[in-house]
Amino acid sequence: MPSDAPPSRRSRTEDGSASLEFIVAGLVLLVPIVYLVVVLFQIQSAVLAAEGGARQAARLFVDAADVDSATDHASVAVEFALADQGIDPAAADVSITCDDGGPDECLDPGDLVTVVVRLDVSLPLAPHVLGLDELVTVPIEASAVNAVSEFHVGER
């Protein structure tokens, strides 16, 4: 083949813009996918913390000897579960209710104790300007119900 042959029509129209297209398309597709994965991991972490904290708090509450120590044990369980997932325990709202309504008779045999843990997960990279970081939150709520044993012996 002669070396002075003119270049083909195909090689003149495609001058190597594929790498630029790959970089731009990769960034346009990759950045939102990475952000979505980070958000889902953060939400899942909060769900696991709230659910585990509520379950353990209900278990510890019904096993305590009196209501004061039961409340303390439940608070420690929720704080530990949240801290284990890297969530500030002050961000959670914990409520403990009993089926008979009175907190003093909460540990009577057969009573149902419900622990509810609520928290808001802020989305990452939300700007602090105009309070937008507080507006773009995902509410998480987990509850657990446990019954006081019929053989429970506590202070009367």
3-state helix, strand, coil in the chain (%, to 5): 50, 20, 30
Q: What is the DSSP letter of 5?
A: P
| pLDDT, tens only, 26-36 | 888 898 999 99
| pLDDT, tens only, 3-29 | 565 555 555 555 667 788 888 888 888
Confirm whether pTM is higher than 0.85: no
- Quick check: 125 pLDDT over 90? no
> pLDDT value at position 1?
56
- Quick check: 84 pLDDT over 80? yes
> pLDDT value at position 94?
94
How is the beta sheet containing 112-122 ordered, strand by strand?
A: 93-98, 112-122, 137-147
Q: What is the pLDDT confidence band of residue 92, given thresholds at 50, 70 and 90? A: very high
Q: What angle do CA 110, 50, 62 make, to 5 degrees?
A: 20
